[in-house]
Amino acid sequence: MGQEQILYVVIPCYNEEEVLKKTSKRLEEKLTSLIQNHRIGKESRVFFVDDGSKDDTWQMIKKLHQDSPLFSGICLTRNRGHQNALLAGLLTAKDKADIMISMDADLQDDVDAIDAMLDAYETGCDIVYGVRNNRDSDSFFKRNTAQLFYRLTNLLGGELVYNHADFRLMSRRAVKALEEYREVNLFLRGIVPMIGYKTTVVEYSRSPRAAGKSKYPLKKMVSFAMEGITSLSIKPMQVLTWLGVAVFTLSLFMLVYIFARHLTGHTVVGWSSVAVSVWAIGGLQLLGLGLIGEYIGKIYLEVKARPRYLIEENLEEE
């Protein structure tokens, strides 16, 4: 590679004051050594995105920026969620960076995997997925629900990279392509594989969170999974149609059966079967309505095309 490439490590942060010091120190060491070895250009940065934190996260980022030009970042006007924060970071960084690596603030992603990612980039890959090679650091519950989620989305036609979260390298042109995907309901893991270009994976082992608590409690995890599935696929609605066809066919048989019973004079039997079908069909209808509502809600949000994030402050523009 001719000229040294500029790398921005983009890190969304939501209430991460407990871990920020550790993370910034670790990344400072890494980037400094990469710069010294001429693997990346001197203008490379650790680029924080403060996602409307309520603690001192932004103050700490500003302090880091004052003390060293290696650190910079932006601050969103309010909490917009991990995916939007990451997008804000990538789209802002791409004006200056040739290469962007996104990672979490809690050091769960292996900083040393950056070397392997850069190797892959140098052999011509535009997107390099960080894929964890074990889930030992996860709880039993998280491990299994995550497994279920991947299976389900792939079954429904999403193209997720197995065991890949949002630790990935993207070239500038890949991020520019990502910008063309204008959806408000953003699920980056599902969209990035749609971009194309030459891609590869780099394995790493995921550590436990370095400090602080997970910002993804069960409720957020469930809504994240729902978001993922309904953003990527309309199969659930198609399944619903088939379910409707099946239930209707069944009811035709029931009709014949009931008529036969009527003719043979057994009219007032079967309270239980009636009660059961009322519940079953009522349940199915509610499920169906809910699911359709889910998609209509999405259409509503997409049609409005509200901004996905707003930047309040950019440390690189002062």
Binding site for Mg ion (CB under 5 A): 104, 106, 108
75 binds, among ligand UDP, Mg ion, none (CB under 5 to 8 A by kind): none
Kindly tell me which of 80 and 206 has the beta carbon lying closer to Mg ion. 206
H or E stretch at 121: helix 113-122
Cβ-based nearer residue to ligand UDP, 24 or 200: 24
Return the HEC string of 167-208.
Answer: EEEEEHHHHHHHHCCCCCCCCHHHHHHHHCCCEEEEEECCCC
Residues that bind ligand UDP (CB under 6 A): 12-14, 16, 51, 79, 81-82, 85, 104-106, 108, 214-216
Residue 193 contacts residue 232 (beta carbons within 8 Å): no
CB of 233 to ligand UDP, least distance (A): 22
> Of 9 and 201, which CB lies nearer to ligand UDP in the complex structure?
9
CB of 27 to Mg ion, least distance (A): 16
Q: What are the distances in angstroms from CA 51 to CA 15, 73, 105?
A: 8, 11, 12
Return the closest-CA partner of residue 199 out of 178, 169, 159, 228.
169
What does 51 interact with, of Mg ion, ligand UDP, none (CB < 5 to 8 A by kind)?
ligand UDP
Nearer to ligand UDP, 34 or 105 (CB): 105
Tracing tokens 């809504």 back to the chain, one arrives at: 223
State in angstroms the smallest separation of the CB of 74 from ligand UDP: 12
Least Å distance between CB 175 and ligand UDP? 18
Q: Which does 85 bind (CB under 5 to 8 A by kind): Mg ion, ligand UDP, none?
A: ligand UDP
Residues 216-249 as b or e (16 or more Cβ within 10 Å = b): eeeeebeebbebbbbbbbeebeeebeeeeeeeee
Task: Tell me whether residue 53 or residue 108 sits nearer to Mg ion (CB atom).
Answer: 108
Q: Distance (Å, rounded) from C-alpha 205 to C-alpha 113?
A: 9
Of residues 188 and 201, the one with the C-beta less far from ligand UDP: 188
Least CB distance to ligand UDP at residue 244 (A): 36
* 95, 157, 223, 227 from 238: Cα distances, Å: 41, 12, 21, 17
- Closest contact distance (angstroms) between CB of 243 and ligand UDP is 33
